[in-house]
Amino acid sequence: MAQAKTYDVCIVGSGAGGGMAAYALTKAGADVIVLEAGGAWDNAQDSAMLTWPYESPRRGSGTKERPFGEFDACIGGWNIEGEPYTSAPGSHFDWWRARMVGGRTNHWGRISLRFGPYDFKRKSRDGLGDDWPISYADVAPYYDRVDRLVGVFGSRENLPNEPDGVFLPPPKPRCHELLVKQAADQLHVTCIPSRLSILTRPLNGRAACHYCGQCNRGCKVNANFSSTNVLIGPALTTGNLTLVTGAMVREVTLDNTGRASGVIYVDKASGTDTQVRARVVVVAASACESARLLLNSTSSRFPNGLANSSGVVGKYLTDTTGTDVAGFIPKMMDHVPHNHDGVGGMHLYMPWWLENAKLDFPRGYHIEVWGGAGQPSYGFMGGIQRYPAGGGYGAALKADYRRYYGATIGFSGRGEMIPNENCYCEIDPNTVDRWGIPVLRFHWKWSDHEYKQSKHMQETFRALIAAMGGEVFSAMPTAERGYGLASGGSIIHELGTVRMGSDPKTSALNKWCQAHEVKNLFVTDGGPFVSQADKNPTWTILALAMRTSDYITDQMKKGAL
Ligand SMILES: Cc1cc2nc3c(=O)[nH]c(=O)nc-3n(C[C@H](O)[C@H](O)[C@H](O)COP(=O)(O)OP(=O)(O)OC[C@H]3O[C@@H](n4cnc5c(N)ncnc54)[C@H](O)[C@@H]3O)c2cc1C
Ligand code: SF4
């Protein structure tokens, strides 16, 4: 079925990238349609904020659709029924997908870091990978605008590669974080207030956080960022947005001049195909879904997939490196019960502090901190038997829980991998999803760079726990176990599969995230990234999506699109 209407812009996906494009383009007056494979969601009604674990027979334990816990706001997971993906023999890749309005921003950790000036020009500094065709100065005004629109707290630190933003005041460190700060100072590890997109002051009609610590459940008062309520909601109120849920886009269509003419989507409820026409197509289905969509959009003009004459679509896939260490801190036992609540995330973090040090791996990582006494639910404390003398039955067990509760600390490293030729996704010739759409097959291999980085993380976290007088729960992972490096994809920061660049032979998009070969086709998710940085990517996805949307508006006004 083909719709008669032609929209100005058709956006595929409503997560961070699609939501920002929808917001910016509808505010600029464009007639926009967003096609979202998942269902509707509204934090104000649907969030499980303030539900007690005892209100559920599952006590908050995860479900198939909500692997991070039954109260979690994000519907999706590592495996989605009827939507498989595969890994090539000898490879393993974990792919976490959301299926709902707002995508993964319904759960994400809200760690909102800018890439720094070095991150855009890494090849010039160490010869590895590639430089971006843009610099920090190109993106900085958009970071500022995202800060003002969405809201982020933090502190001005003047660090060379951790640019300060337009910050709201940060919350104070809690007990366990004060101890972390002491240990970090002792080991000369930079430790500063974290930078999260959670409102510590009212902003743009949204209330400030009331520190319930439950951000992952979706915030009923919208004090944290989700694309759903902060971007898609306001875009709908412009009257310029048509939002279609349950719409799985299978293909971007072309007209006979080689321009994108719209998309075809499967209505998941009826299984029927619908064609949408648009003057501009913005693909924002998440980095790997966007690569899949382009690779599946073949034609005589683009037999290898749309805008893929270079063959780079699906290549240069990266994920953040990650490893964790947790420990028990005796001096945090038997504390006076008091309110430890705060924002739903860490109040302190440690940016990369060894930029110019001589190390046996390139680039770096930052450290995320967890621990303290959050609301207990199913599986809390990770098993009491891990604590000295913990376990047993009855009154003694209850007493142990009270003594040890809140005496745990954990560190997670999040670092930069270098794109390598063994990490990519492609169409699996033998497998289709429930609608007959060919699925992705992943190839993955870490290099020595990443393993050595993980070793450094492990050693640092163990030293921090020792400096706190603590005991680590696990033995140092060996080289055979990859020094505890998490599997590819499992940090859920996939990037780079539709990368930008100046040369159409080695990139799919130009510096505006516009396809070199199809001028009215754009990508606004993590696909365009040229390198990973150690920073979590979403603030940069939002800033680039805003920048691309401004460019689309400008080009449409000039009649160039
Ligand atoms: C547990 C967790 C914690 C995280 N923490 C952080 C953090 O602290 N900081 C940070 O920067 N990042 C974090 N991330 C990553 C962050 O969520 C992503 O970087 C961000 O959401 C990516 O935005 P996106 O628009 O590319 O994709 P998504 O948010 O995944 O949105 C893509 C949307 O497209 C839809 N879609 C896919 N295919 C199709 C199709 N064919 N047709 C129609 N619709 C389609 C999907 O249903 C989805 O809604 C975290 C992620 C998770 C899961
Ligand atoms: S901690 Fe703050 S932002 Fe997070 S859910 Fe609670 S009130 Fe909302």
- Quote the Cα angle for 27-29-34, to 5°: 75
For the record, the structure tokens of 53 come out as: 């674990």
Among 96, 108, 230, residue to substitute to test ligand 1 (most atoms within 8 Å of Cβ): 108
Q: For ligand 2, what atom is nearest to the CA of residue 222?
A: 8
Q: Are 32 and 245 in contact (CB under 8 A)?
A: no
Strands 408-415 and 321-328: antiparallel
Residues in a beta bridge with 452: none
Q: How many helices (H) and strands (E) does the chain have?
A: 11, 18
> Comparing C-alpha atoms, which of 13, 61, 47, 66 is closest to residue 344?
47
Which ligand is in closest contact with the Cα of 111? 1
CA distance 528 to 84: 24
Q: Residue 270 region, left (φ>0) first, then alpha (ψ -120 to 50), else beta?
A: alpha
Token look-up 């915030």 returns 219
For the record, the structure tokens of 94 come out as: 């974990």
CA distance 246 to 4: 20
Q: For ligand 2, what atom is nearest to the CA of residue 212?
A: 6
* 412 CB-near residues (< 8 Å, 6+ apart): 322, 323, 324, 367, 368, 370
CA distance 481 to 224: 37
Among 538, 540, 541, 548, residue to substitute to test ligand 1 (most atoms within 8 Å of Cβ): 538
Among 106, 201, 206, 210, residue to substitute to test ligand 2 (most atoms within 8 Å of Cβ): 210
CA of 286 to the centre of ligand 1 (A): 6
CA of 20 to the centre of ligand 1 (A): 12
Strands 247-254 and 260-267: antiparallel
CA of 15 to the centre of ligand 1 (A): 5
CA distance 41 to 169: 29
The pTM (predicted TM-score) of the whole model is 0.98
CA of 95 to the centre of ligand 2 (A): 27
Exposed/middle/buried for 124, CB within 10 Å: 0-12, 13-18, 19+?
exposed
Q: Are 206 and 151 in contact (CB under 8 A)?
A: yes
| Polymer length in residues for the chain | 561
CA distance 521 to 45: 35
Cβ of 17 less than 6 Å from ligand 1: yes
* 260 CB-near residues (< 8 Å, 6+ apart): 252, 253, 254, 278, 280, 281, 306, 518, 520, 521
pLDDT of 336 reads 82
Sign of the CA dihedral running 301, 305, 306, 312: negative
CA distance 146 to 463: 37
Which ligand is in closest contact with the Cα of 99? 1
Cβ of 286 less than 6 Å from ligand 1: yes
pLDDT digit string, tens, across residues 293-330: 999 999 999 999 999 999 999 999 999 999 999 999 99
Report the chain (561 residues): mean pLDDT per 10 consecutive residues.
89 98 98 98 93 92 91 94 97 97 96 98 97 98 98 98 98 96 98 98 97 95 97 98 98 97 98 97 98 97 97 98 96 86 96 96 97 85 79 87 91 98 98 98 98 98 98 95 97 98 98 98 98 98 98 97 92
| Helix (H/G/I), strand (E/B), else coil: 242 | strand
Cβ of 366 less than 6 Å from ligand 1: no
Q: Residue 151 region, left (φ>0) first, then alpha (ψ -120 to 50), else beta?
A: left
Token look-up 């207030």 returns 193
Q: Which amino acid is at 215?
A: C
pLDDT of 390 reads 67
Which ligand is in closest contact with the Cα of 200? 2
CA distance 18 to 541: 10
Residues with CB under 6 A from ligand 2: 49, 198, 209-215, 219, 221, 223-224, 343-344
Which ligand is in closest contact with the Cα of 490? 1
pLDDT of 391 reads 73
CA of 222 to the centre of ligand 2 (A): 8
| pLDDT > 90 fraction of the chain, expressed in percent and rounded | 91
CA distance 96 to 424: 16
pLDDT of 4 reads 79
CA of 509 to the centre of ligand 1 (A): 20
pLDDT of 528 reads 98
Q: For ligand 2, what atom is nearest to the CA of residue 198?
A: 3
Q: Are 525 and 555 in contact (CB under 8 A)?
A: no
What is residue 406's DSSP assignment? T
Helix 16-27 / helix 538-557 crossing angle, nearest 10 deg: 30
Per-position DSSP letters for 432-484, written without gaps between them: E-TTS-EEEEEE----HHHHHHHHHHHHHHHHHHHHTT-EESSPPPPTTTGGG
